[in-house]
Every structure is written in structure tokens, then in C-alpha cells.
Structure 1
Amino acid sequence: MTRRTDVVVIGGGQSGLAAGYHLRRLGIEFVILDAQEAPGGAWQHTWDSLRLFSPAAYSSLPGRLMPPQPGEVYPDAQHVVSYLADYEKRYELPVERGVSVGAVQCDGSFLQVETDCGAWQARAVISATGTWTRPFLPAVPGRREFQGRQLHTVQYRNPEELAGQRVVVVGGGNSGAQIAADLAGNVDLTWVTQRPPRYLADDIDGRALFDAATARRRALDAGRTDNGGVASLGDIVAVPPVREARDVGLLTARPMFDRLTEDGVAWPDGTSAPADTIIWCTGFRPALAHFAGLRLRGTRGHIATIGTRSIDEPRLHLLGYGDWTGPASATLIGVGRPAREAAREIAGLIRS
């Protein structure tokens, strides 16, 4: 049986909920389809010690401030999960869980959304699937020859599971720095980065990053010179655990190796480091396989957009994948504005 609604939102994490909030305010009929069995999006699958970059008040979705976490300046992931679950319940957002979307196809004046629980027809679709389910692993020589364990950021949980091991952490961004700091003192750690680590000033947090990303987008839209946005400030937010490990000398990065061996990693100068486990903190790609049939994807797997709207399929909006779908739109504080703009554009389309 095929069901019909005005809008199908694919993904029930922070971006999908922000979209639902604004669609509800505009009186638009919609459904949120989420592959997860429980609320919280990707936040329910992070490593144990993960903290937000910002205090709760600056990490909120539209309409409801995140309450502070007792005893913590920067809330942990479980606090975020609880907040998202409460947000969904508070606004009575129509989320259907355990529903995996396989494909989105054109069907005349509708978009047909095929799932493992039946099909939906919609006047418009918002894709809010994020990137967590598409971890990226670089093609480094010898990766298949390495005899130890290889993890990606998404698979790491805590230092206890690696206690006493020789561990190589690869990646000079926030995930790499935070996981290296988490492991420092618990394992024989080698931290490897593509370039020397660039820490942001200690007083910069997520709010300042959102402001920088927004200022960059406004400058570009106005035809002014690109100021570099967040990238011009650095790569690593110095959250307290990272700052503490750095300041006592536990975060000393080595340059990127050129190959893996059976028992570790090796550099061009002939030096090497043994490893029992390698953790690849090497980023993600957008989870957009469900749009393969529409043939919209271009360079780097992106779909060309104006704001959040697909250029080649104006009934489709993409939300929460990073700056290409709105300044800081992959963050809690940043997704509200592009979600509002997407909902307004869809309202105009449906009511025209």
C-alpha cells in the first residue's frame, strides 16, 4: 500500500526534527521516516567521552533551549540524546522508526519514497540522513595487509577496550584530537596528522564557530572576498580534555605515514611504529544513496543546491550535511535557520 502526504522527511536526527518543527508551525502535513529504533540520531552511537563544543544554551534546536547538564559545562552525548527525545515528544513530531528508505523516484507530480515498510508519495522530500552511516577510509597502501584491528571513529567507544595496546590514531580534526586525548595515558599512543595540528584559541567554542560560518556565507552571498570561515581559525576546538592532554605533552602529532605494514605503519624516511589497532578519524561522506535513481549527484558525492533546494529537482531539499546546505547546518545550533528556509520554500511550492 502506498501512503500519501505533503512532505516526507528522511532521517529523524537533529536535522529531521528541526525540519519537522518548522513544517508543523506552517501547518504542512508530513511524516519523518527514521531508520533508527530509538530517538537521538547519530548521538546515540558516539564514543563514551564525547562532549559538545558549546554550553547547552548554545546547542539548541529551534523552539526549545537545551537544558544544562548538572555538573557539566559541555553536555555529553547522552544528554543530547535525552534532549532530542524530549524535543520530539514535546512537539508531537510524527516519526516512524525502524523504517529504511531505499530509493526516491519521480512519479509524475509526486516523489515516490520506497522503504522496507511500504511506499510514500509526497509533494516534496527533505533528506536529513547526515553522514554518520558513511565513514570514509582513505586508500593508503598496505591497508589490507595490516594484521591488526582497524576501526573508524564510528566504532570507537572507550579506552578500556584498547587498554595496554599500541594504538595509532589517524586524523588532525576534532574527532582525531578528542579520541587521541581520550586514549592518552591508557595506551601506547601514536597520533598521526596530515599537517601539524591547528588548535583554535582556548576560548573559542561552538557558538563562535557558528558565527564564523554564518559570516562567511553572508560574505559569499554578497560577492565579497571569502574570509575562510571556520577553516581560517583552525581545525581543533580545544575542549577541556584535549586542552589538558595537550598542555601536559600527551598530544604530540607525527606526520602522515605513507603505508601500512603487517604489524604497523611506516614513513618514507624508513622509520616505523608498531600497532595493534589503527583508528581512522578521517571523516565522512553524505549518506545519499537513496537518490541514485534521480541521478543528481555531482562532484564529491554532493547534489547541487541553492540553499537547501536541489537545483535539478526543486521538490527535494537537503538539510544538515554541512556548509553546502547551510552555514554550520550539521550542528545543533546551525540547523535551525536552513530548516526554516526549507520549510518556507516547500510551503510556497505546495500552496502555489
Structure 2
Amino acid sequence: MRDNSVVIIGGGQSGLAGAFAARDAGLRPVVLEAGERTVGSWPEYYDSLTLFSPAGYSGFPGAPFPGDPDNYPTRDEVVAYLDRLAAGLDAEIHTNTRVTAVEKDGTGFLVHTDADVQLQTSAVICASGSFTNPHIPDIPGEFTGRLLHVAGYRSPKQYAGQRVVVAGAGNSAIQVAYELAEVANTTLAVRRPIQFVPQIRAGRDMHYWLHTLRLDLLPPSVLKRLIRGTPVFDTGIYSNALMSGLLDQRRMFTRFDGDQVVWADGTGERVDAVIFATGYRPNVAYLTGLGALDNTGMPLHKRGLSLTHERLAYLGIEFQRSFSSNTLRGVARDAKYVVRAIADGRDTARTRLGSV
């Protein structure tokens, strides 16, 4: 490496994990965070959000999540936890600094920011998350009601008495639809039925078994064979809501028609709001000019190491190396892996496109 600096783009959970790993590897991390605090997108999530993993399985190595290990942390508790992590990190951190472009600079990189500041560095780790790049599928027709992604949803209050459709079959979709069903006529629109996984087995939270049986470490190639769709952890309240009729589940609608959604059987129904809980895509548009992305804007990488450039890496991508890659409990493992590869120069052979 030309020197020991590594610029980490993003100061949320992935960026902090990268900074801790870089510091421990003897590198000099420089964290660039677009927001005012190094807590990522957590303050922007909906009010009632809680982790699906208990506190005992939700902390960084050497920094356990405080409180009852069997408790499921809230959004605000996660924010406070990340604040404490950042306060204990001996690293150069710049908040309110948005990266606009990354370009090659000799054997390293030149990182441009919206503050008209340029940083030269030997390595770049992209940990900018995906919350600001929500994915909404292309649905034919136009909708004249309220249409939003779950990224813009906060609480059910403003939907009281309305007809609401939540599109999606993951954890966020069912959690939001369930609380909406208490105040509104709510339907889950899904492409395949929700796959419920018991939160508790044999008196233990499912994350105990994921950890004990090392299922959390399964690589994406194995996961693709074992998992179809998104498993939803359930204590029984969500499946009971569907069985009791409190919450409705229907096959995904096919198009919009003014203030209506047109269901798979061809019938139209007027609805007040459609909320898409259809995931996110990595927010790495600043790499477009570098040639590190495919034609859909997704990073070209293997296990978080770029396939196009040496000393360019990623953190926080879903299923990057395992089932837990983009979670509090798993991102530190990925951070240690990519940082060691960069520090030791072991990413060179991996960064030839086509060597997957």
C-alpha cells in the first residue's frame, strides 16, 4: 500500500465496523458521513421498529449491546448504542460530508466530497448503506392515492380508518402491516406467501440456534439453495393476525388504475395508500465514473472485495458473505475480512473481473 490510510464512506453501523477493523489492523481510518451523526439511517426508520435479534446477539465484538440480553432493542436504543461506539473510536471522522465521486489516482484513489474537498487515499471501503436508495418495483399504470416506500413511513396514526396496501413479504412489511391493521383496513400484497420462522424454538430465540449451529456464517451460494424468499421471524402474533382475519394477505396486484389497485384476478379496488416494503439497493452512485458497478448500479464484488479495482471494498451489502452480513451482529466479521485482505494485499488476485 502507498500509505496506511483508508477512506470509509459512511458512518453508520457498517462504517463504524470498518473503522474499528482498520484501526485494529494498523491502518488509519478516515470516516466520511453524510449526516450529522455517525448513526447511519437508524433515526429515519419507523417509530415502532425493533430488532428481530435480541440484544445478546446484536452487538459488535467486545462491545455488547447494553441491557437485558433477551430484550429486542428499539430503534432509539440502536441509535444510542452507535453513538457510544463512535465516541469510543479513535479515528478521524467527518460528518456532514457527502462523497460525490471516487476516481483512480495512481495506485490509490481520489475521493471528492460536496464540501469541495478532495482526499487522497490508498484504499476505499464503501459503507454508505442503502436506506437512501429504496427500491420500488415498476408497476404499470398511475396511482392517484398516497404512494410511498417504507423508508418514508413513521407511524400508523395518519392512516386511521383508511384502506391501505403494504407490498412486500419481509420482516418490515409484516411489522408495518400488523400495526397498521390495528387502525386501518390493511392488506399485505405478496408475490409468494410469507415464510414464517418461529422466533422461539425449544425455549431459545432463533438467533441462539443461528449462532450455535453456525448458520449465520453460511455463504450466499449455500443460502440461495436453502432459502427461497425472505424468512420472517414470528412469535405467533403475525401468523395469528393473518389467520384471524385482522390482516389480509393477497397475491401482488398487477397494475394501478387511478385511485385503484388491480388485483391478480382482474378486479379493481379503491385504496387510500400503498406502502412498498420492497427492499433497498446499495447507495454507491459515487462509483459510477470509476467503472466499479454493473449496468444496474450494483457493485461488482466477491465477498465484499471489488472485482474491478484493488483496495476497493464494500460493507453492509445484503448477503455479502453470509446471512448476517448487513446486520449489527454480522457486519464486524465482514469488516475484519475485507480490511485484512486490503492490509495484506490479498485482494489483488480477487479483483480481476471474471475470477468469481
Q: TM-score scaled by structure 1?
A: 0.88
Asked if 1:107 is matched to 2:105, the reply is yes
Are 2:100 and 2:113, in contact at CA under 8 Å, matched by a contact in 1? yes
Are 1:17 and 1:93, in contact at CA under 8 Å, matched by a contact in 2? no
Corresponding residue for 1:88?
Answer: 86
Corresponding residue for 1:215?
Answer: 218
Corresponding residue for 2:170?
Answer: 173
Corresponding residue for 2:37?
Answer: 38
Question: What residue identity is the alignment partner of 1:92?
Answer: D
Label 1:286 to 1:126 Cα distance change in 2 as closer, same or farther (>3 A).
same
Label 1:300 to 1:61 Cα distance change in 2 as closer, same or farther (>3 A).
farther
- Deviations 1:35-66, CA, capped at 9 Å, x for gaps: 01123211111001111011111001232001
Question: What residue identity is the alignment partner of 1:33?
Answer: L
Give the number of aligned pairs: 338
Question: What residue identity is the alignment partner of 1:173?
Answer: G
- Aligned equivalents of 1:18, 1:259: Cα separation in 2: 42
- Aligned equivalents of 1:318, 1:79: Cα separation in 2: 26
Asked if 1:199 is matched to 2:202, the reply is no
Question: What SS does structure 2 have at the residue aligned with 1:196?
Answer: coil
The alpha carbon displacement at 1:339 in A equals 0.3
**Percent of pairs with identical residues:** 37
Are 2:9 and 2:126, in contact at CA under 8 Å, matched by a contact in 1? yes
Are 2:165 and 2:186, in contact at CA under 8 Å, matched by a contact in 1? yes
- Aligned equivalents of 2:192, 2:183: Cα separation in 1: 25
Corresponding residue for 2:279?
Answer: 283
Label 1:268 to 1:18 Cα distance change in 2 as closer, same or farther (>3 A).
closer
Corresponding residue for 2:351?
Answer: none
Label 1:239 to 1:103 Cα distance change in 2 as closer, same or farther (>3 A).
farther
The alpha carbon displacement at 1:336 in A equals 1.1
Unpaired stretches in structure 2, ≥5 consecutive residues: 349-356
Label 1:234 to 1:128 Cα distance change in 2 as closer, same or farther (>3 A).
closer
The alpha carbon displacement at 1:148 in A equals 0.9
Asked if 1:52 is matched to 2:51, the reply is yes
Are 2:262 and 2:269, in contact at CA under 8 Å, matched by a contact in 1? yes
Label 1:98 to 1:230 Cα distance change in 2 as closer, same or farther (>3 A).
farther
Equivalent residues in 2 for 1:15-34 (5 A)? Answer: 15-34=14-33
Match among 331, 342, 346 for residue 346 of structure 1: 342
Label 1:289 to 1:25 Cα distance change in 2 as closer, same or farther (>3 A).
same
Label 1:230 to 1:60 Cα distance change in 2 as closer, same or farther (>3 A).
farther
Are 2:34 and 2:96, in contact at CA under 8 Å, matched by a contact in 1? yes
Equivalent residues in 2 for 1:1-352 (5 A)? Answer: 6-68=5-67, 73-117=71-115, 118-142=117-141, 145-203=142-200, 205-206=206-207, 208=209, 211-217=214-220, 220=221, 226=222, 228=224, 231=227, 235-238=231-234, 242=238, 245-246=241-242, 248-298=244-294, 300-349=296-345
Q: TM-score scaled by structure 2?
A: 0.88
- Aligned equivalents of 1:197, 1:48: Cα separation in 2: 23
